[in-house]
Amino acid sequence: MMQVDELLSKCWLIKNAFHIDVQVFDEHLQTIYHLSNDSEPLILVEARKAMYSDLQKALEKANKHSFCLHTDSFQLSFMALAMHHNNRYHGMVLVGPFLNERVTDHFIWKVLKDNRLENNWFNPLEKFFKSLTYLGQSYLAISDLLVNIVVNPRVDSQLISLNNSNKPFEPVVQPQDYTQSGLDVKLRYDAEKKFLYFIETGDKENAMKAFLEFAGDFSYRVPGNPLRAKKNLSFSSNTMSRQAAARGGVEPQYLHAISEKFALKIEAAVAMSELDKLEFIMIEEYCEAVQNFTVKGHSPVVRKALMHINLYFKESITVQSIADEIGFNRNYLAKKFKEEMKISVTDYIHKKRINEAIFLLEQGQLSITDIGIQVGFSSYNYFCKVFKDVKGKTATEYKGSK
């Protein structure tokens, strides 16, 4: 195995470069080094102890330049790199945890559910997750780099510094250039503030008017590709609208579903006119969410029920299962929900499922039978019946009218 000092310097290089913890085990799974900020909740450390032997077994059988990727039930990812000496396995370098998925409220709620944790774990987990490095799909390239760092001898680099501190700064924009363009920018941001306020209050008509005031032409940001420039602006509008609706009291889990839906539609758009139409539909839906699905002012039982339904409506849920999950009496839940939402729990679930089914129908990638199953209905016939009850026409008729 490589010299201890060299191994330690490589581990510090990895930790400092990627801001990820590094742990080194020998062939007996005894810890040699553990470079960590020690901010990880103990429950996460305990949950992964069985992972170490699984990684070791995989690396012992693999090519000596291989690496293992493991993601646990908390969605924490780790890369394990084998160390060899004279072609014999001598231990591993474990890099992690890091994240391959962005941290959202939906992400954290799913972790809580998958690990059967109480809701009071939400804030500690959120704080910890947001302290971690997000790699996304770049983990493959980084893994390749880490293998090369571990396998090859380390060399000391030399820094060459270019000092431009004596060169005077020449601003690209002169003070006199601000007069007109600066005023235009100020007016745009004032209009943007109004737009976000109207989304937050669910004022659909004024939100659309304000949107027209600040939605300018930014095609110059992506030269030669105005459609991409327009998509980037639409993504930005989607994000701002989601945040404004959240301030208006709509639960994050519900907003995540809206945001994801429009993100997919924006990316799939093939024409500027399609994006123009999408932006207005998006404003309308966020405003309606504030009007219809805000949980401000609701009683604790209805607020918890809404959160649970918005998260799990695609699964096999009933009034009884919801009551059991949130810890309230079934009859009390049904009564309070009907009083405050003006709709029964079952009808609300049906409405959620049908709205999701309509989105999938418009995507055109699944059959009607598959859509019914995917949104949570137990049979095709029941899906068709509920669809007609909610929309006044069958799913086939609705699809044919689009």
* pLDDT, position 107: 85
* pLDDT, position 183: 46
The SS3 of residue 273 is helix
CA distance 278 to 215: 14
* pLDDT, position 246: 83
CA distance 247 to 180: 33
Q: How many helices (H) and strands (E) does the chain have?
A: 18, 5
Domain range summary for the chain, segments of one domain joined by +: 4-151, 180-293, 300-400
* 240 phi and psi angles, rounded to 5 deg: -65, -40
CA distance 153 to 332: 68
8 A C-beta contact, residue 47 and residue 126: no
* pLDDT, position 295: 58
* pLDDT, position 152: 79
* pLDDT, position 206: 85
Range 300-400 classified under CATH 1.10.10.60? yes
Alpha-carbon dihedral 181, 184, 190, 195, rounded to 10 degrees: -120
Q: How many residues does the chain have?
A: 402
* pLDDT, position 273: 82
Question: How far does Cα 383 stand from its chain's mean position?
Answer: 29
CA distances from 363 to 269, 355, 396 (A): 11, 13, 14
User: pTM of the prediction?
Assistant: 0.43
Fold of 4-151: Beta-Lactamase (3.30.450)
CA distances from 253 to 151, 203, 313 (A): 44, 22, 12
pLDDT tens, residue order, the chain (402 aa): 456 677 888 888 888 888 899 988 888 888 888 888 767 787 787 777 778 888 988 888 888 788 888 888 899 999 999 888 788 888 889 998 999 888 888 888 888 888 888 877 888 888 899 889 888 778 778 888 888 888 777 777 776 766 655 666 565 545 444 444 554 566 677 778 888 888 888 888 888 888 877 666 655 556 677 888 888 888 888 888 888 888 877 777 678 878 888 888 888 888 888 888 888 889 988 888 887 666 566 788 888 888 788 778 888 899 999 999 888 999 999 999 999 888 999 999 999 899 888 878 877 778 898 899 989 998 889 999 999 999 898 888 888 776
